[in-house]
Amino acid sequence: MKKMVLYLTSCIFGFTITACKHAAKENETAAAKPPTKIVNDSITRATFVDDFGDQMEVMINHTQNTAKVFLDGKTYDIKKVDELPEYTAANEEYQYSDIHGNITFLKKDADMVLFHYKKNKENSQTKMASY
């Protein structure tokens, strides 16, 4: 009987020591955070709604010359193209352009416009003189 009690006591003590060491390792890993990199990018966000009620959000990173287009639950990563007019960004499949307030996002291989937004002339800042 003494051997059984001694055996149970040593097993319980062993499990307790193991459990305490395991919990200590979790706390150490949780406390050690990787260093964060501070990035000072110039980012512009804009949301456009076309005549059909579709919404497209564009996030332009001017520092890295990249753009992200969010349309219909998908994200498109594209890079600025300096040869094309105004702000135009493209990749192998898609092209985004903002020329004088006309926003166009199209699929290049099919020549299909996925989104088009035209700034209303009524909201523009120019006023005509009336006599």
Cβ–Cβ < 8 Å for 79, 93: no
The DSSP element (H or E) to which 59 belongs, if any, is strand 55-61
Q: What is the pLDDT of residues 22-76, one digit of tens each?
A: 444 444 545 555 555 556 778 889 999 988 889 999 999 988 889 999 999 999 9
Give the per-residue pLDDT at 74. Answer: 92
Phi, psi of 20 (to 5 degrees): -70, -40
- Model confidence band, residue 20 (pLDDT cutoffs 50, 70, 90): low
Beta bridge partners of 102: 99, 118
Higher pLDDT, 55 or 127: 55
Cα–Cα distance for residue pair 16/66, rounded to 1 Å? 55
- Model confidence band, residue 77 (pLDDT cutoffs 50, 70, 90): very high
Residue 4 clears pLDDT 70, i.e. is over it: yes
Closest Cα to residue 67, out of 57, 77, 75?
77
Give the mean model confidence (pLDDT) for residues 77-93.
86
Residue 5 clears pLDDT 90, i.e. is over it: no
